[in-house]
Chains A and B, each alone.
Chain A
Amino acid sequence: MATERHASVTWNGDLMSGSGTIDDVGSGAFGPLDVSWAARSEEASGGKTSPEELIAAAHASCFSMALAHGLAQAGSAPERLQTSATVTFVPGTGITAIALAVRATVRGLDEAGFREAAEAAKAGCPVSKALAGVPEITLDAQLAG
């Protein structure tokens, strides 16, 4: 069954001096969130989100769910996964890299088995597949001590 999710964005004015708002999302889970080119393209974002941050959130959440699924299927459902995704954006070029990092508490699984499950989640999650055109997607997967 197909799943649909939607979002609405308003932009006022030109790119450099204008600003936008992610007014609402279908679920109502967040919004309104302000966006601007300055916040998107400069080091300090001033607490504003950006398309790249939302992609990082989409990828980290998709990967985590796929990994939880893979581990459970292998008989080792995780107690806890902590995942971060960092998206690198070069204005004028686009998204050049995504770095996924996961630290996991999983009983009954060795490091090699865990890495294998993490690589499978990275390859298989729908957001990874949709973003397959990103030049470099890396994964750092480790069991927490």
Chain B
Amino acid sequence: MPRIERSATVTWEGNVARGVGLISAGSGAFEQLPYSLPTRIGQAEGKTSPEELLAAAHGGCLSMSLASELTTAGTPPERLEVKVLVVMDEVPGKGHLVVESQVDISARVPGVEQARFDAAVAAAEAGCSMSALIRATATVSIESRLEAS
């Protein structure tokens, strides 16, 4: 199997309370996104954060994983909408941790039965590398529903 590498770079200037960082993707898909401590833990004010990037990564991973499972089951999806909410909290004695990733999936999949869909969601969750990893500190919960197609 090929080894795929993806990278990102960050430049940070100053201390943590008043400093600011810039995040760029190796692919060029996004460049110099600013972030800071106040906007990471308080109101976002239009700035991204490590946790928001994790939410986007988890959504991207799960949607591809579910598309794969549904296709294997003979019912490729027309459309999947995946929303992910990542929660970071201060845990006594452990500092700040990513404690939850709440996933909401709305799917339009012609010809699939509910039971097969549910099985595909479970398999997608088990197969998405990001879901498995984030469980080191976070609870992953998934709500999913089929839309009429």
Contact = CB atoms under 8 A, between A and B. Distances in A.
Interface of A: 1-16, 18, 20, 22, 25-30, 33-35, 37, 39-43, 45-65, 67-69, 71-72, 77-96, 124-127, 129-134
A37 B19 CA distance: 36
A81 B23 CA distance: 12
A30 B60 contact: no
Of the listed residues B14, B55, B76, the one surrounded by the most CB atoms of chain A closer than 10 A to its CB is: B55
A111 B23 CA distance: 25
Contacts of A11: 63-64, 66-67, 77, 79-80, 82
Interface residues of B, number: 89
Given A88-B5, A134-B133, A13 B85 contact: no
Interface string B8-43: 111111111101010101111110011101011110
Interface string B110-136: 000000000000000000011011111
Interface of B: 1-17, 19, 21, 23, 25-30, 33-35, 37, 39-42, 44-64, 66-68, 70-71, 76-90, 95-99, 129-130, 132-138
Nearest to B80: A11
Given A48-B27, A48-B29, A91-B2, A4 B85 contact: yes
B80 to A, nearest CB: 4
A5 B136 CA distance: 19
Given A7-B55, A25-B52, A29-B46, A87 B7 contact: yes
Given A28-B46, A68-B16, A91 B133 contact: no
